[in-house]
Homo-oligomer: A and B are copies of this chain.
Amino acid sequence: MSTQRAEPLWLSLSDQVESELSRLPAGAPAPSEHELAARFGVNRLTARAAMQELERRGVVRRYQGRGTVVARKVEYRIGPDWIPSWTRTVAAAGVEPRTVTEDAATRRARNDERAELDLGGHDRVVQLDRLRLCDEECAGYQTSVLPAARVPGLRDVVGVGGSVYEVLTEHYGFAPGRVWTRVEQISAPGWVARRLGMRGRPAVVLVRGRLDCQRTGAPLELTFAWLRADMFDVIVEVGEWKRLPAPIPVRKADAS
């Protein structure tokens, strides 16, 4: 208390609370701000700052009116050795997954989609918008865009919560070939935050993917997935580098 503080009160408080909570299972209730303030003899705002820090660390999740609960992030691995299945990944972490198909509509392809999907000027695409839920809480939002001509009647075939991957292979007989994926952490755009039911611009992990047909090599599907960064611990693995750098042009005092 009166020792010379190198650390602010809220920080040491959050460290202490974190070590206490680490022994509790996910979903267990954390002490309330009021209770913490009373226990440590500090102002409610100080206790609040500590809990907000724990929320940033992903240790707890806070709900207005309901309280604060212990949280565990779901490990979401992406790499050349696994095809990630959202449903199975979440279920393996002991969390109940659910998928809600929000929209499935046919429209004209945008310019960037024509280029990526190898389409002509008047070709149409099917867009699937899906909400990903973890224990009935909004955890991610995903859009898939496919060439309408190659998947006729897709919006009728994919039911609520249906698997695009499964439909492609079983119903249309496509063998999926190469898959390209790109991952980055960003602040969610406003319209994504709204669909996730969150205010402001929460941190999300954007996963972009492209699936090609194995036989013809033609692109079959473009995917954008926004995953809440506070609910997922995304681990990306890069396989072998294809293009190794030539040793010559590397300058002195450069990094490996």
A residues lining the B interface (CB < 8 Å): 7-8, 11, 53, 56-58, 78-83, 85-88, 99, 132, 144, 161-166, 168-170, 176, 178-187, 199-201, 203, 205, 211, 221, 223, 229, 233-245, 247, 250-256
Contacts and interface: CB of A to CB of B under 8 A. Distances in A.
Main secondary structure of the interface of A (DSSP, over half): mixed
A228 to B, nearest CB: 13
B199 A85 contact: no
- The 10 A-B residue pairs whose C-beta atoms are closest, nearest first, are A165-B256, A164-B256, A86-B255, A169-B247, A181-B238, A236-B236, A178-B240, A184-B235, A163-B254, A83-B245
Contacts of A233: 184-186
Contacts of A161: 253
A81 B241 CA distance: 6
Contacts of A184: 233-236
| Most chain B beta-carbon contacts within 10 A, residue among A185, A201, A241, A256 | A256
A58 B181 CA distance: 24
Contact of A241 (B8, B144, B179): B179
16 contacts: A56-B203, A57-B201, A80-B242, A85-B250, A162-B253, A166-B254, A169-B247, A170-B247, A176-B244, A178-B241, A180-B240, A182-B237, A183-B235, A183-B237, A183-B238, A238-B239
A8 B236 CA distance: 36
Given A184-B235, A184-B236, 19 more contacts: A57-B187, A57-B201, A79-B238, A85-B245, A85-B256, A87-B251, A88-B255, A99-B253, A161-B253, A164-B255, A165-B256, A170-B247, A179-B241, A180-B238, A185-B185, A185-B229, A211-B256, A238-B238, A238-B239
Contacts of A211: 256
